Amino acid sequence: MNFDYTFHWRPVFRKLPELLEASLVTLQVSVLSMIIGIAIGLVLALLRIGGPKPLAWVASGWIETARNTPALFQLFFFSFGLGAFGLNLTPYLIVLMGLSFNNAGYLAENFRGGFQAVPDTQLRAARSLGMSSAQAYIRIIIPQVFRIVYHPLTNQLVWAVLMSSLAMIVGFRELAGETQAQAFKTFRIFEYFAVAALIYYVMVKLILGISRLLAWRLFRY
Amino acid sequence: MIEIKELHKYFGDLHVLKGIDLNVEKGEVLSIIGASGSGKSTLLYCINGLEAIQKGEVKVDGVSVHAKETNLNKLRTKMGMVFQQWNSFPHLTALENVALAPRIVKGRSKAESREIARAQLEHVGLNDKIDVYPSALSGGQQQRLAIARALAMEPEYMLFDEATSALDPELVGEVLDTMRLLAEEGMTMICVTHEMGFARDVSDRVAYFHEGVMEEIGPPDQIFNNQKSERTAKFLANVR
Amino acid sequence: MNEPISFFSGFGPKDLWYLAQAAWQTLLISVLSISAGTVMGIFFGWILSESKVVGSITIGFVLDAFRSVPLIIQLVLFYNLFNVIGLAVSPFTAGVIILGVYTSALVANVARGGIESVGKPMRRAGRSLGLSYFQTMRHVVWPIGLRAVFPSWVGVALGVLKDSALVSVLGHPELLKVARDLITRTQQPLLVLAVAGAFYFALSFPISRYAAHLERKWQS
């Protein structure tokens, strides 16, 4: 075993501002993809529970594809796949749409479970007090569903942050992409990726910590 | 006044209510007894429009419940309903449980609805549980909370669907006492119940349901002591 | 006679064969890393469940780090580390090792849950019958815990099958790498992606079906 490699950390630390800026891009694209994913996931869940047949099938197709193929495969679809239709998206949009597609599929199943976990009798009780269907959902059902899906939601956000690193493969420069670009310029691949790993670790721990704090504030019951 | 005429209800092929005719006057307390599956709970759901009907009519103060043009949400504020499963809203405190509907359905101010809620919680004897979440209440307390929640809408009718059936035996009494209190205050009540003592002591009339038909109706003395129907007598003999 | 080879050519039967071979590589990587990761993960899970303090501070922390860093970063990082320390390993070997360790971090959690799902009273009952510690583990904790967490384990396994696609960053010709190359050559992305997707489906569907079958069998 010949061990003639010397570690050089200084060039990495000099690029730290760039890496930190890129991790903000990571957070941004992850959070945005979560917001889109939540909105679409809710619709998919409701369609799968009780939508008209053809729409329920579309929802099932979306959910099963998102859950049963690699996330990278889904990114390829949004880059090469849409390219076949002459739709050439920017790397940013490819990543955002890919992540949103994946989030929506996973969250839909969480929402479905959440809706099924709130007993029908809650809706009945709310309606018997004269609440409209919309009032009953907004005031009574959704807050309870939200609590049930809160932890899965947090996990999905963590997963989105981790998954966004695939952007490196389609050439978008969030944290992983930026790391790769810098690393191959200087050939300090190990050092750069070690620092990136550390930043990812801190981001994930931050998200989990904030989520725990929020849960403590939100759910008093 | 609640008027029920020739009411038929099906669940698919199952004929659950087979032509019910019944009037309930203001101030009256009516108890409905009968075996499970006799359609008595379904009747309550039909009265406040939580279930659709297939034939006949239900009128509350002259308004047809199942007519298309009826504003059911508004009509339901006239009828409070208490369920077998108490259905407290777990994410709201006792006070919020009671104050929510007056505010968002009747448009009362926040302060007003909290005042109403406080008064009703006191009414059912929960004044020391105002800021507690339902998970910290016993079944009996949750059922009284459900009663307070219904009363906060200032209903003219109260519908009780086996309000004590899901409770542990030692908790039944406190809920029956609350119901008794309401009856004494002159509330119009329809109580589907298995508590024969309550039906006999509190009701003005008692109805016996058998397989979707109202077999017999009359004052408690008739139903419990001088039944006109064989079936009523047989049912009561088995219950005792 | 060989057909004339042009750089851009349509998707042919031969390409289907390429993809099938690549799917075989995906399956191989997955099976190896899931097997190794499961054995290691059960061991780690056992340590975590037995020694709360020491276990969670040492391996608990390391395993948690594996779950908190993107797999693609881990692959590049450790592949380069192997090179740095002069350990010449193929992308395949490196992929299996890294994916295996990653799997063990996920399985450790599942295994700990399984062991803890079998309560202390049940284990004491085993010991009181005169079974040794390892006999109790083998005949009481294992069969009961396994049934409790089997669905979670299947979830992990299916996840690793999908994650194996990332070994493509090391250049190993697994399913998605070959698909990408074929897309560049044939310029028929939809067709190639559809075939690759069908292969993934063909790999994961039988597993989830068999798992569901087993679960039903155990419940009755």
Which two tokens mark A13?
A: 């630390």
CATH class of A18-211: mainly alpha
User: Region A181-207: what's the mean pLDDT?
Assistant: 92
Of the candidate ranges A94-98, B145-149, B156-160, B224-228, the one whose mean pLDDT is the lowest: B224-228
Name the average pLDDT for chain A: 91
What are the tens digits of pLDDT across the range A110-125? 999 999 999 989 999 9
Residue A44 has pLDDT above 90, yes or no: yes
Q: How far is CA C90 from CA A30, A189, C97, in A?
A: 33, 18, 11
Of B89, B105, B135, the CB nearest to A130: B105
Angle, vertex CA A34, rays to CA A29 and CA A36, nearest 5: 95
Q: What number does CATH give the domain B27-38+69-208+217-239? A: 3.40.50.300
- Judge whether C168 is closer than 8 Å to chain A, CB to CB: yes
Residue C5 lies in a domain: no
Percentage of chain C exceeding pLDDT 90: 44
Q: Are A200 and C73 in contact (CB under 8 A)?
A: yes
Domain count, chain C: 1
Distance of CA A19 to the CA centre of its chain: 21
Closest-approach residue (CA) in chain A for C160: A70
Residue B174 has pLDDT above 50, yes or no: yes
Q: Are C22 and C178 in contact (CB under 8 A)?
A: yes
Residue C3 lies in a domain: no
Residue C117 has pLDDT above 90, yes or no: no
pLDDT number for residue A3: 59
End-to-end CA distance of chain B: 33
Does the beta-carbon distance from A119 to B85 stay under 8 Å? Answer: yes
Closest-approach residue (CA) in chain B for A130: B73
H helices then E strands: how many in chain B?
9, 10
By residue range, what is the domain housing residue C175?
Answer: 13-219
What is the DSSP pairing of strand B2-11 with strand B14-24? antiparallel
pLDDT number for residue B88: 93
Does the beta-carbon distance from A126 to B89 stay under 8 Å? Answer: yes
pLDDT number for residue C1: 43
Residue B157 has pLDDT above 60, yes or no: yes
Does the beta-carbon distance from A165 to C72 stay under 8 Å? Answer: yes
Residue C90 CB neighbour total at 10 angstroms: 11
Q: What is the pTM of this model?
A: 0.82
Q: How far is A140 from chain B (nearest CA, A)?
A: 7
Alpha carbon distance B9, C56 (integer Å): 61
What b-and-e string marks burial along B85-108, b requiring 16 or more CB atoms within 10 Å of the CB? bbbbbbbbbbbbbbbbbbbbbbeb
Does the beta-carbon distance from A129 to B79 stay under 8 Å? Answer: no
- Chains A and B form CB pairs within 8 A to the count of 65
Residue C7 has pLDDT above 60, yes or no: no
- Chains A and C form CB pairs within 8 A to the count of 102
pLDDT number for residue A126: 95
Helix (H) or strand (E) holding B10: strand B2-11
pLDDT number for residue B240: 66
Name the average pLDDT for chain C: 87
Q: Are B174 and B144 in contact (CB under 8 A)?
A: yes
Residue C8 lies in a domain: no
Test the B interface: residue of A121, A128, A217 with most B CBs within 10 Å = A128
User: Region C21-39: what's the mean pLDDT?
Assistant: 94
pLDDT number for residue B91: 93
CATH number at residue C48: 1.10.3720.10
pLDDT number for residue A193: 94
Could you tell me the residue ranges of all domains in chain A?
18-211
User: Region C138-144: what's the mean pLDDT?
Assistant: 85
User: Region C18-42: what's the mean pLDDT?
Assistant: 93
Residue C5 has pLDDT above 90, yes or no: no
Alpha carbon distance A31, A39 (integer Å): 13
What are the tens digits of pLDDT across the range B190-206? 999 999 999 999 999 99
Percentage of chain B exceeding pLDDT 90: 85
pLDDT number for residue A1: 46
pLDDT number for residue B51: 92
pLDDT number for residue B34: 92
User: Region C45-72: what's the mean pLDDT?
Assistant: 87
A138 CB neighbours in chain B (<8 A) are: none
Alpha carbon distance B83, A129 (integer Å): 12
Residue C91 lies in a domain: yes
Q: Which residue has the higher pLDDT, A56 or C50?
A: A56
